Structure 1
Amino acid sequence: MNPLTEKQIRASFVNASRREVVQATVPDLDPLDWGRLDYLGWRDRRAPLAAYVVVELDEEPTGVLLRAAAAPASGRRRRAMCSWCRDLSTVEASLYVARRGGASGRAGNTVGTLICEDFSCSRHVRRPPTSAEAGTGVEAIADLVVADRTAGLRERSERFVRDVLATR
């Protein structure tokens, strides 16, 4: 992912009001390793159910305001696999819902998906493959497995943002 400034991030949101964009808490961008990110995602520390992702669509940053599902009253969460990175070792996936962009979103239409609760998908797809994933020749195809996972993450996250933009 190309490095972004706070101004670029705030200008990228396609489903948020001006007020929501101004009130958004942007993470510290300095320590990020942009070369190892497939998208930028974070939870708003001031609004526990608000979250944001910025994905590059057609080489332009496109931001989406998300709402996290509230924790169940029982306190027990169901195990779920992230729809973006599909990492089976991850059980901390949460339902995130985004208002669609434009008139469709103003009419209350939304789209949702399961995403790693802490938006660590880029790290998960870059972990070395296990022998269960790659067979006996793990070392020989490790780079191919990671490249395939990374491409899948990018495709699925981009598809979600395109769904947010769709005028259904």
Structure 2
Amino acid sequence: MRALTESDVRAAFINATDDELRMIEMPHDFLLVDWDFHDFLAWRDPASSKRGCVLVQTDDGVIGVVVRASDPGRSRNGMCNICQTMQPGNQVALFSARKAGPAGRRGDSIGTYICADLSCHENVRLAHPLAPNEVRADGQVDMRLDGTRRRMERFVARVQEDAD
């Protein structure tokens, strides 16, 4: 991703109201973000336990989406649909995003299961333990990174659909 300022971030959101934009807090480590390392940036808003923010880099620039989390609280394991990591049920939550434009003003939204702390970017970089007879294929981590980025971009594109 290219480096962003706080005003760049606020201007990128496509589904946020003016009130939401004023209330969103940047992540605590925003000034320390290594932009070259991130395929997308996602964080839980420190000011609101249910609100999260996602920024993706596209050919048209950076697009931001405000998401709302359900209570994770499930006892069964769950899989994040973005990084495709299996986790305990309380670490995966259903996130919904109001669609951009007229559809969002009518109340239309979309949702998907995502890591409850929105740490997909970091989770896919963790090395999974190998069984004694397994060998990690060259490029396997790169494929996971690309897949995670593409799935997050598709989620944001679905929020943006029919916004014009």
Do Structure 1 and Structure 2 share a fold, with TM-score over 0.5?
A: yes
**Of Structure 1 and Structure 2, which has the larger fraction of its residues in helix?**
1
Residue of structure 2 equivalent to 1:106: 105
Q: Cα RMSD over matched residues?
A: 1.9
Q: Deviations over 1:93-126 (max 9, x none)?
A: 1110000000000000000011111121111212
TM-score normalised by L of structure 1 = 0.85
Q: Does 1:121 align with 2:120?
A: yes
Which of the numbers 146, 150, 167 marks the counterpart of 2:141? 146
Question: Structure 2 CA distance, aligned partners of 1:103 and 1:7?
Answer: 24
* Superposed counterparts of 1:85-100, under 5 Å: 85-88=83-86, 90-91=87-88, 92-100=91-99
Contact 2:56 2:64 in 1 (8 A): yes
Q: Return 5+ residue gaps in structure 1 as ranges.
A: none
| Larger CA deviation: 32-41 vs 18-27 | 32-41
Is 1:167 the counterpart of 2:155 in the alignment? Answer: no
Aligned residues: 159
Alignment gaps of 5+ in structure 2 = none
Q: Deviations over 1:110-147 (max 9, x none)?
A: 00011111121111212234435xx6332xx34x0111
- In structure 1, the partner of 2:54 is 53
1:9 matched to 2:9? The reply is yes
| 8 Å Cα contact 2:71-2:93 kept in structure 1 | no
The residue that corresponds to 1:30 in the other structure is: 31
TM-score by length of 2: 0.87
Distance 1:77 1:58 in 2: 40
